[in-house]
Structure 1
């Protein structure tokens, strides 16, 4: 059941095939470099791209722009306490600002950070501290077709093997990302979160939950974990988040806003360290790099994210999109996650070898064919890691309708019908920081 109706609309158009081909070439075959007006259906990310509610727009107008002691911060602090259960909040301009603040306070040269799977900015921030980001996904996380309720879980077996190898003293931070974005948006169970909490206690590490999509994860738990079948998403969220020492949050996901993030904790020592670091990098602790109106809108968004009607509709839209793609014969990662459908690029383009980035080739083909922008999350985005060749089609919250998704399905189907026309790519320039190369690198097609 749809949980909302449209009040404001934006006119969009599909550029001509000739214009799309020219735009792709000018962008260096990197869709991050495309102008938004050149894109018809934009599934690059669900981060900060959704539509806000009327209550959030009202909060924007009521926002308190005071530099210090803002009323809007009080509203955010109250929302974090009520929805997530943490008493101390350090606001930041977005999720990567929160990562900089938190991991800069927790990690040092030579440390090891364990995560069910590091996402790109998390991996980069850990590496920027001189620490080693190590992934601990469960075995079935990278199996694209095997069924599983919680393929995003943190592998304790893998984590213990790392601790045995490097020593507990080198592992000050353990992270669980819910849902697991780099494992195709797969959820993490509450039982697994409890076990990670026990593991962190045993090795003396700080347990961090990356809570960007905490509400979507809670809805999966409600549907798949028997213990919580009669619980609400709001109740599950507080239970699961409560096992962490600290949260790192991008409000641009399940905060339902276009800007903002925060660190939350009950640990006074960690709070003070994060607050002082935030003053240096983000701003005064009651605005954290955001305008007061953005802080106020995020306070409302956090409460809306755990409303049953909203979160149920959110997962249902993604599930419907996955079913449409499967019915059309497009290979996808199953079961679908909570914010995106991930295409199996290796199966879609079997003639393109891994060294020629089949995921990025598929991303370019989708744009060329139908003006659809997705993002590669395979060997191009994550060099030197053992991950499947995936293309993420992330659905902005409360933005697109079924007709838009049907256009994407039609586009993908046409690409697959003409797959031999899609060539591989090679990198011709990239930044020094390879962990973030997919944002700005340039590529060109390979001629055989």
Structure 2
């Protein structure tokens, strides 16, 4: 039996992609001001920019699209989504929104304001932005083992609970508006969080009367890792593990564009607090639309209801994470460092190790991402100092704990041959890594700069 698992599906439709010449790619990235987000998708060969909304829907989901009920209120599709979500998460109330950051836009100001902090195992970019937009400050509290990209730890996404207590005591429980558990931990390399750690974080939060919010974008992948790596869960189903995970929070925000395998959509879940649900509804109506559609068409609600179930399928998850493990094994042979062990949705290349001569303020992870595009038309992104941006109080460049170039693999889209091309490109870059120079920013917006900033090579 092979170590890696082939696709548990067959292909019914294909989309042609083209390969530009090296000269054409260099011209395209220069016109894009060396920002991969500014590239046209037609000019990208293998697109690993994100796994968010870029997956391939199933025949069942496309069939559901045709059956979507577009009623403004009381939609059948809304009711099916509520039933599907309750089956998986075990919560009482759910509110659809148009994507994950919309969920954060609704939820974060309910808990956070100027003078407060949010503590997370790690905030991702939009979460951090919505914490700051609410006037609060975001504090990351991941375990120290996550900083060692080479050595193995089964749950590098874990909250550092000893430090969490120290931070709560430092700021005072009344100043900690929210504890956020991100599963899996994207910024730390797509690394899972153990059930034991989630349980302990929840106990600490309860002791200090601080609410817990779960960032649920990749909850199914996290549940898969718990099943594979944590004692006592091997015989439990993905749904059983998910229900226990979510029992330790009182609310969750979710980008359904990841583990629900849809192109657009998000979800807010409220465990049982009716008053909290009423507040969420009251904020959703002016921000997203009426509660039974939340900024989405009925067909999107239908696809989400089906995709939530498909995302918990064990065979699918085994294949999905197997793709990342395949990439990792190839890079091990090539001596290319990444956040080890392989994450769920992406492989995070350690750009600091590949480009040690480029300082954080010249953005080594962004440099590697740009070089990947020039080398082979592969679009990836920076998860490092370039993405972290500037300190909102001092305006100074933040030095990230990590300098990762993220290779986010879309769900059910690319084959093993595409993965082999990625490996070959990284090997070619490694051979001339000492010849690469960093970049500097020539223009940037105040928040979430990496989406639209302009750069130039040094």
Q: TM-score, normalised by structure 1?
A: 0.98
**Any conservation in 2 of the 1:172–1:204 contact (CA below 8 Å)?**
no
Residue 99 of structure 1 corresponds to which residue in structure 2? 104
Paired with 2:430 and 2:372, the residues of 1 have a C-alpha distance of 10
Residues 114 and 133, structure 1, Cα contact 8 Å, conserved in 2: yes
Structure 2 counterpart of 1:430, from 444, 453, 456? 444
Distance (Å, rounded) in 1 between the aligned partners of 2:201 and 2:115: 22
Q: Distance in 2 between matches of 1:310 and 1:395?
A: 14
Shift of 1:147: 1.0
Aligned partners of 2:287, 2:109: CA distance in 1, in Å?
A: 11
- The equivalent of 2:394 in structure 1 is none
1:345 aligned partner: 351
Q: Deviations over 1:102-159 (max 9, x none)?
A: 1122222211111100000000000000011111101111211121011101111111
Residues 234-283 of structure 1: per-residue CA shift (max 9 Å, x gap): 21111111111011100000111000001111211111111111111111
Choose 62-71 or 326-335, whichever is displaced more.
Answer: 326-335
Return the offset for 1:350: 2.2
Residue 394 (structure 1) aligned to one of 388, 408, 414: 408
Select 2:428's aligned residue among 406, 414, 419. Answer: 414
DSSP 3-state at the match of 1:362 = helix
Match for residue 45 of structure 1? 50
**Runs ≥4 residues deviating over 6 A:** none
Contact kept, 8 Å, 1:153 with 1:189, in 2: the verdict is yes
Question: Residue in 2 aligned with 1:371?
Answer: 377
- Structure 2 distance, partners of 1:350, 1:169, is 42
Report the CA distance between 1:329 and its aligned residue. Answer: 2.4
Q: Which residue of 1 aligns with 2:26?
A: 21
State the distance in 1 between where 2:268 and 2:399 align: 28
**1:421, CA displacement in angstroms?**
3.3
- Are the counterparts in 2 of residues 367 and 373 from structure 1 also a CA contact under 8 Å? yes
Query: Structure 2, unaligned stretches of length 5 or more?
Result: 390-397
Say if 1:80 and 1:87, in contact at 8 Å, map to a contact too: no
Q: Which residue is 1:314 aligned to?
A: 320
Name the structure 2 match of 1:442: 454
1:167 aligns with 2:172: yes
Asked if structure 1 preserves the Cα contact closer than 8 Å seen for 2:372 and 2:379, the reply is: yes
Q: Is the 8 A contact 2:51 2:345 kept in 1?
A: yes
Coordinate RMSD, CA, aligned: 1.0
Displacement, 1:385? 4.5
1:386 CA drift (Å): 3.5
Q: Distance in 2 between matches of 1:312 and 1:83?
A: 19
Cα deviation digits, residues 335-382 of structure 1 (max 9, x gap):
111000000101112222222111111011000010000000011001
Measured after TM superposition, the shift of residue 402 of structure 1 is 0.3
Separation in 2, partners of 1:138, 1:364:
30
The alignment status of 1:217 with 2:222, answered yes or no, reads yes
**Which one is further off, 172-181 or 155-164?**
155-164
> 1:9 Cα deviation (Å)?
0.5
In structure 2, what is the Cα distance between the partners aligned to 1:129 and 1:286? 26
Work out the CA distance in 2 between the residues paired with 1:83 and 1:18. Answer: 49
2:283 equivalent among 277, 280, 284: 277
TM-score (norm 2): 0.95
Confirm or deny that 1:381 pairs with 2:390.
Answer: no
Gaps of 5+ in 1: none
1:291 aligns with 2:303: no
In the aligned structure 2, how far is the partner of 1:242 from the partner of 1:302? 18
